[in-house]
C-alpha cells in the first residue's frame, strides 16, 4: 500500500489550480465590510485555504485579492467615507509591502491601484 500524500506533493500547477478553485468558491468581500474595515481590522479577509501553510498563502492570497476584492468610489455614500476608510486600510496593507499589494490589485480598476499611494 502506498503512503498517503498531501496536496503539495502534487505538481505545483495542479495544486495551484485546486487552490484557485477553492478561492473561486469563496464569496466576494462585501463592499460595506471593505469600506468600514470591519473584517480587515479583525485580521481578515483571507479564505481559510490561504491560512493552511506559507506556500499556499503565497500562491493563493494574491489571486484572492485580484478576484474577490474590489473598491469603487462611485459606490461609496460619500467621497469622504471612502477616503477615510482607505486611510485606515493603508497601514494594514503597507505592512505587506506596497509593491506586492499593488501587484495583487486588478489593473483595470484605477481606484484600487491608487490605494497604496495614499498619504
Answer yes or no: is 21 within a domain. yes
Confidence of residue 8 (pLDDT cuts 50, 70, 90): confident
Please give the full DSSP string across 31-72, using - where no structure is assigned.
HHHHHHTHHHHTT----GGGGS-HHHHHHHHHHHHHHH----
> Domain range for residue 47?
9-117
- Residue 4 belongs to a domain: no
Q: What is the mean pLDDT of the chain?
A: 67
Q: Is 103 within 8 Å of 62 (Cβ atoms)?
A: yes
Residue 108 resides in a domain = yes
Give domain status of residue 1, yes or no. no
Number of domains in the chain: 1
37 phi/psi in degrees, rounded to 5:
65, 20
For the stretch 30-82, pLDDT in tens is: 554 444 544 444 555 678 888 889 899 888 988 887 777 665 545 445 555 55
Q: Give the predicted TM-score (pTM) of the model.
A: 0.54
Residue 3 lies in a domain: no
Flag whether 100 is in a domain: yes
Closest CA to 36 of 90, 102, 81: 81
Question: Is residue 28 one of the residues assigned to a domain?
Answer: yes
Amino acid at each position: 500500500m502506498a503512503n498517503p500524500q498531501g496536496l503539495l506533493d502534487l505538481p505545483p500547477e495542479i495544486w495551484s489550480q485546486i487552490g484557485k478553485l477553492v478561492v473561486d468558491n469563496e464569496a466576494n468581500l462585501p463592499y460595506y465590510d471593505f469600506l468600514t474595515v470591519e473584517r480587515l481590522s479583525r485580521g481578515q479577509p483571507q479564505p481559510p485555504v490561504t491560512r493552511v501553510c506559507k506556500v499556499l498563502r503565497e500562491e493563493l492570497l494574491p489571486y484572492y485579492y485580484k478576484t474577490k476584492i474590489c473598491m469603487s468610489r462611485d459606490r461609496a455614500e460619500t467621497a469622504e467615507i471612502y477616503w477615510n476608510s482607505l486611510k485606515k486600510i493603508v497601514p494594514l496593507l503597507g505592512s505587506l509591502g506596497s509593491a506586492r499589494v499593488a501587484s495583487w490589485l486588478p489593473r483595470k480598476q484605477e481606484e484600487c491601484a491608487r490605494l497604496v499611494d495614499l498619504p
